[in-house]
Amino acid sequence: MYFKNKFKNKKVAVIGHTGFKGSWLTAWLNQLGAEVAGFSKDIPTTPSHFELAHLDQNILDVRGNIVNYNEILKFLTDFKPDILFHMGANAIVSDCLEHPQDAFLTNSFGTVNVLEAIRHTPSLKSVVIVTSDKCYENIEWEFGYRENDRLGGKDPYSASKACAEIIFSSYFRTYLQFMPHLSIATARAGNVIGGGDWAANRIIPDCIRSWTKSESVQIRNPEATRPWQHVLEPLSGYLLLASELLEGVEGLNGESFNIGPKAEVNKAVSALIEEMQHHWKNVKVDIDKSHHLNKKEASLLKLCCDKALNRLGWMPTLTFNETVEMTALWYRNWHEIPVSVKEFTDLQIKSYGDFASKRGMVWTKN
Ligand SMILES: NC(=O)c1ccc[n+]([C@@H]2O[C@H](COP(=O)([O-])OP(=O)(O)OC[C@H]3O[C@@H](n4cnc5c(N)ncnc54)[C@H](O)[C@@H]3O)[C@@H](O)[C@H]2O)c1
């Protein structure tokens, strides 16, 4: 029984449920006994974790666009959720670079529509808006960014996520703080890996696409370091945040929370790939030395997660090796026994809960 059983029989809406994070969240909410309804524009990739795990079977599965206010309002009005997770976005940095208007329309204006619809959904008690670690103005320092550091972002994806945070702050201070039944917060995470991601231009999906064809993979920035995080880690943070907001715990409403790995989990891309190799057979890894670390491109953006620890008691569960092992094993299982994706996803969520429980994570305690 996790999160003090607060999701059992609750009506939970997930915007972006067909995506990478949304599909894992949907599977976890199913295990927690929630009644789930998902709202997404499309199935963003082929293959798709959402489809392979047959996640449409136990939920209300709705196609709609947050850019169209009436569609998102109708979804929330019809379903009458207690809890909402908003993770619908154009989440691919390179895609946003190519289509900046869509980035701002979806990630910024779409968030206006979601918040406006929230304002007109009286059933809602707890809401988590997912943005990104990229919402901070990256001034290239070596310290972790804190929630009150300057927002910014040069590229359209980052700027659109910073805009979403500013829009949230305006809506909260102008309207939402005066809704006594509602508690709402934003969560900022980044560099998520895990099974079931097939997005374009992300390092793990790129490897899997090559390795399943027994092709070598080109690594652009082998020395670049990133704070890698398994997808279930931020989800445990979002779920804990939502469950505490539901209780009306003080110090959370209207706030933003960084959700990231421990500082020592900053590892080079090459270390990530080498660790993946241990769990995936017969691969050739071609490290392209001509594209060595470009300092500007690889600048590190670390998060300071002390606020999540102090106010929620949240901290990450997995080591770097466990994070990569879980990721590689998921893809290997999918490749070898594709029919068992649903069972394997459920198994990994249970294993993650066991790890967290043994390590005394706050959300595993009664
Ligand atoms: N994956 C990461 O590493 C990462 C890192 C930081 C932040 N995030 C954030 O987490 C959230 C989820 O990311 P993800 O990796 O699962 O993304 P994803 O691309 O896998 O999924 C995006 C989801 O949003 C839906 N969507 C897109 N545009 C929509 C629209 N106009 N209307 C309705 N639904 C729409 C898609 O259908 C899909 O369900 C996003 O807000 C993203 O910015 C992700």
Asked if 268 and 320 touch (Cβ cutoff 8 Å), the reply is no
Do 189 and 237 touch, CB atoms closer than 8 A?
yes
Q: Atom 32 (ligand 1): residue with closest C-alpha? A: 65
Q: Return the ∠ at Cα 307 (arms to 9 and 147), rounded to 5°.
A: 105
What is the average per-residue pLDDT within 341-347? 98
37 vs 274: CA distance, rounded Å: 39
The DSSP line for 270-306 is HHHHHHHHHTS-S--EEE-GGG---HHHH----B--H
The pLDDT assigned to 222 comes to: 84
If you ran DSSP here, which 8-state letter would residue 136 be given? B
The residue-averaged pLDDT of 232-256 equals: 97
CB-CB contact of 85 with 241 (8 Å): no
User: pLDDT confidence of 311, banded at 50, 70, 90?
Assistant: very high
Of the candidate ranges 95-104, 221-230, 276-285, the one whose mean pLDDT is the lowest: 276-285
Question: Which one has a higher pLDDT value, 202 or 79?
Answer: 79
Rounded mean pLDDT, 66-89? 98
Q: Are 189 and 170 in contact (CB under 8 A)?
A: no
Spatial distance between the Cα atoms of 148 and 257, rounded to a whole number of angstroms? 10
The reported pLDDT for the residue numbered 191 is 87
Q: What pLDDT sits at residue 296?
A: 45
Residues having CB within 6 Å of any atom of ligand 1: 16, 18-22, 40-42, 44, 65-67, 87-91, 106, 110, 130, 132, 189-192, 199
Where in the chain are the domains? Answer: 3-364
pLDDT of residue 297: 45
- pLDDT score of 291: 53
Pocket test for ligand 1, best of 40, 86, 113, 186 (most atoms within 8 A of CB): 40
Answer positive or negative: Cα dihedral of 286, 290, 293, 294: negative
For the 3-364 domain, the top CATH level (class) is alpha beta
Mean pLDDT of 256-277: 88
Kindly report which listed range (62-66, 102-106, 275-279) carries the lowest average pLDDT score.
275-279
C-beta of residue 120 within 8 angstroms of C-beta of residue 48: no
Closest atom of ligand 1 to 161 CA is 43
Average pLDDT over residues 9-26: 98
Per-residue pLDDT band at 285 (split at 50, 70, 90): low
Distance 360 CA to ligand 1 centre (A): 30
Distance 17 CA to ligand 1 centre (A): 8
Residue percentage of the chain with pLDDT more than 70: 95
Residues in the chain: 366
**How confident is the model over 144-162, as pLDDT tens digits?**
999 999 999 999 999 999 9
At residue 223, the pLDDT reads 83
pLDDT tops 70 at residue 60? yes
Q: In this model, does residue 263 exceed pLDDT 80?
A: no
State the maximum Cα–Cα separation within the chain, in Å, rounded to a whole number: 59
Nearest in space to 317 (alpha carbons), one of 305, 299, 329 = 305
d(CA 86, CA 103): 16
Higher pLDDT, 293 or 365: 365
Q: Report how far apart, in Å, the C-alpha atoms of 99 and of each of 94, 96, 108 are.
A: 9, 5, 14
Q: If you average pLDDT over every residue of the chain, what do you get?
A: 93
Instruction: Give pLDDT, residue 224.
Output: 82
Q: 251: closest CA among 305, 311, 310, 179?
A: 311
From the alpha carbon of 131, which atom of ligand 1 is closest?
41
Residue 141 has pLDDT above 90, yes or no: no
3-class secondary structure for 145-208?
A: ECCCCCECCCCHHHHHHHHHHHHHHHHHHHCHHHCCCCEEEEEECCCEECCCCCCCCCHHHHHH
Residue-wise pLDDT for 286-303, tens only, equals 665 555 544 444 467 889
pLDDT of 286: 63
Residues 18-56 have pLDDT tens digits of 999 999 999 999 999 999 999 999 999 999 999 999 999
How many Cβ atoms sit within 10 Å of the Cβ of residue 296? 7
Q: In this structure, which residue's CA is closest to atom 30 in ligand 1?
A: 65
Question: What's the gap in Å between 295 CA and the centre of ligand 1?
Answer: 27
Geometric angle at alpha carbon 56, from 276 and 243, rounded to 5°: 75
How do residues 201-242 score in pLDDT, each as one tens digit?
889 999 999 888 888 887 878 888 888 999 999 999 999 999
- The residue whose CA is least distant from atom 10 of ligand 1 is 87
What pLDDT does 293 receive?
45
- Is a pLDDT exceeding 50 seen at residue 272? yes
Question: Going by CA atoms, what residue is nearest to atom 8 of ligand 1?
Answer: 132
**% the chain with pLDDT above 90:** 80
